[in-house]
Amino acid sequence: MQAREAAPGCWYVQGLSALGSPANQNFISNAGFIVTTKGVVVIDALGSPALAERLLADIRTITPQPVTHVILTHYHADHVYGLQVFAALGARIIAQKNGREYLVSDTARLRLEASRKELAPWIDEQTRLVPATDWIDGRTELTVGDTRLILQPVGPAHTPDDLVVYVPARKLLYAGDLVFRNRIPFVGEADSGHWIQSLDTLLGLGAEVIVPGHGPVSTDARKDMQLTRDYLLYLRKTMGAAARDMTPFDEAYQATDWSQWENLPLFGPANRMNAYNTYLLMEHETK
C-alpha cells in the first residue's frame, strides 16, 4: 500500500486487480483521503480492519490532522470491512440511505460469514459491519475546514446505494465502483441501465481527475469511463438479444464474441457471472 496524491491535498491508495485472499488481506479496492485544515476526510475503508490500520498509518505520515469523516461510496465488503477502525476513532460515517437495507440483509450476513472463513485471519469474529452515523438521500454539500465536497447519490447502479464524492476546487471525483479501470467490472445484480445513465451524469460534473473504485487514477475522464460504459452496453446488447430470442444462456454465452474484453484482468472469474446476471436482468426488462 502506498498513498499517492491525485491532486493537491487529495490522496488515494490503489488495490490489486485480484480476488480477495488471505495473501492480500482483501486489498482489492481503492480508498481515498482528503487533507483539510480541520481534519481528514476518508473515502471508503478498504476490505479488512488490518488494511484500514495501514491506511491510517499512511495518513499519519502525511498529516497529524485527525480523521473526522468517512464517506462510503457503497456497502460492498471490499470497501467497508475496515470501517470499524475509523468508527473507533469517533469519525462520522456518511453513506446513502439505501445502504441500511444491505446491512440487515441475508446477503451481508452470509458474505461476512464466508469471509471469516475465506479471508482468515484478516476477517474474523471481531470483524463487524458498521452502520453510518449520517444517512443521506440526495445531493449533499459537506465543508470541512477549507474544503468543500459534493456528495452525489448515483444509484441504483453498481449497487442501490452508490455515492460519489466531488472536490470542485480540484475538479477531482472519487467515483467508487461506478468506474473500473484496467479490469473487468463486477456487475453482480447491478441495475446496468441506470449505471450507464449515472456515468453520463458523472461526465457532466466536469471532473478532470477520477479516482475509480478499482484501478489507477484517471486524468482522461471521458475516455476512462468509456471502458465501464462500453462493457455494460455490450452485456446488455448481447444478453438482451439472447433473452428476447429465448436463447438458452449457455448457448448465448458460447456464441458471444468476448475478444474485446478477454485479456483484461479478472475476465475469467467475473465475465460469465456478469453475463448471466445481465441475462436475467434483460429477461425481466423484456417482460
> What CATH number should be reported for the domain holding residue 97?
3.60.15.10
What pLDDT score does 287 carry?
66
Report the percentage of the chain scoring pLDDT > 70: 99
What pLDDT score does 23 carry?
94
pLDDT mean over 268-281:
93
Half-sphere exposure (Cβ direction) of 156: Cα atoms closer than 13 Å:
11
Q: How many independent structural domains does the chain possess?
A: 1
What pLDDT score does 202 carry?
86
How far apart are the C-alpha atoms of 258 and 267, rounded to whole Å?
10
H runs (alpha helix) in the chain: 49-62, 77-80, 83-87, 99-103, 106-118, 192-203, 221-244, 249-255, 267-286
What pLDDT score does 225 carry?
83
For residue 117 the three cell numbers come to 472463513
How far apart are the C-alpha atoms of 230 and 135, rounded to whole Å?
32
Q: Is the pLDDT of residue 123 over 90?
A: yes
Q: Is the pLDDT of residue 286 over 80?
A: no
How far apart are the C-alpha atoms of 259 and 238, rounded to whole Å?
13
Query: Which residue from 171, 178, 224, 8 is spatially nearest to 76, judged by alpha carbons?
Result: 178
CA 37 → CA 61, 127, 146, 168, 260, distances in Å?
16, 32, 6, 17, 46
Query: Which residue from 143, 141, 151, 163 is spatially nearest to 76, judged by alpha carbons?
Result: 163
Q: Which domain holds residue 31?
A: 4-286
Per-residue pLDDT band at 135 (split at 50, 70, 90): very high
What pLDDT score does 180 carry?
86
Per-residue pLDDT band at 206 (split at 50, 70, 90): confident
Q: Is the pLDDT of residue 72 over 80?
A: yes
Report the percentage of the chain scoring pLDDT > 90: 79
Q: Is the pLDDT of residue 65 over 80?
A: yes
What pLDDT score does 252 carry?
96
Please report which helix (H) or strand (E) contains residue 264, including its range. Answer: none
DSSP string covering 173-191, please?
EEEEEEEE-SS----TT--
Give the pLDDT confidence of 24-44 residue by residue, as tens digits: 999 999 999 999 999 999 999
For residue 269 the three cell numbers come to 472469474
Mean pLDDT, the chain, rounded, equals: 93
Q: Is the pLDDT of residue 223 over 90?
A: no
Give the pLDDT confidence of 246-272 residue by residue, as tens digits: 999 999 999 999 999 999 988 998 999
